[in-house]
Amino acid sequence: MFTVSLIASPRAANLDADLPAGLAARWGGDAPRWLAQGIAAEFDLSKAPEDSQQVWQDLQLIGIDMAIQHSKGRRKRILIADMDSTMIEQECIDELADLAGVGPRVADITARAMNGELNFHEALIERVSLLAGLPETTVAEVLATRITLAPGGAPLVATMRANGAHAALVSGGFTAFTESVARQLGFDEHRANTLLAEEGVLTGHVALPVLGREAKVEALTEIAARLGTTPEDAIAVGDGANDLGMIQLAGAGVALHAKPAVAAQARIRINHGDLTALLYLQGYHADEFVMP
């Protein structure tokens, strides 16, 4: 049995009632269930349709995301999430670099690394080197004035935790940021790289080993084993090339507003919905959302 999820942007709320009903009839599925009027609906069917990719492309043109998953086991016990441009709306290193006067140069490297064009480890080392001499207090300044939480993140974490899930924030960014973001959103744990400083000034170095793509995979594997389950029982979300490993390993791997090279390799792509889409993908009704 398969479940088809149709999800719109909560801001647009443009999922017309005729669309899930018509698609269910076309594919011989069951009657649709509304999870949030105008935003999310789902229906079950016995086999995956052959023309799903074409339908997905057509729906993208009207701002609707679609995912088809095995119905069994959709609700996950683990949430593992990237931070930059996923749980927050910015790239922390780009914001630091802007204050250091090297913003455009670092932003270009970040964009290429996240699209898989550059080795993540080498790209991070190069970008951090450009921050040498920046006062350590700049981190707090960026957190206070430039970092905003991505829409839907708070109810995503709160709802999954209220239903017994473990939430982990795993970032290729820096612990100075993940500590704050994890606390604000209620994550159970966080992992990231450590910016090195001496006498209140960034040295331009990061503690080794660098937490990159493989470290995120290891984190998912380790957390699942610790909880007595497997990565199949996890939903993973990210947007960059260093997230692909965990996205492909998790039972539900979601590329959220992702770079083209990442989206092309992910089983589930959310281009229009926000982070609450991860709850709808698991079959949560909007009335079940926990609003912290």
Residue positions annotated with a catalytic role? 82, 84
Distance CA 146, CA 124 (A): 21
Distance CA 38, CA 16 (A): 6
Q: Residue 239: which of 217, 210, 214, 268 has the closest Cα?
A: 268
In three-state secondary structure terms, 255 is strand
* Kind and range of the H or E run holding 167: strand 166-174
Distance CA 88, CA 152 (A): 10
Rounded to the nearest 5°, which phi and psi values hold at 62? -110, 15
DSSP letters for 56-81: HHHHHTTTEEEEEEESTT-S-SEEEE
* Kind and range of the H or E run holding 43: strand 40-45
Straight-line distance from the first to the last Cα atom of the chain, in angstroms, rounded to the nearest whole number = 34
Distance CA 30, CA 27 (A): 9
C-alpha count within 13 angstroms, C-beta hemisphere, residue 46: 2
DSSP letters for 185-253: HT-SEEEEE-EEEETTEEEEEEPSSP--HHHHHHHHHHHHHHTTS-GGGEEEEE-SGGGHHHHHHSSEE
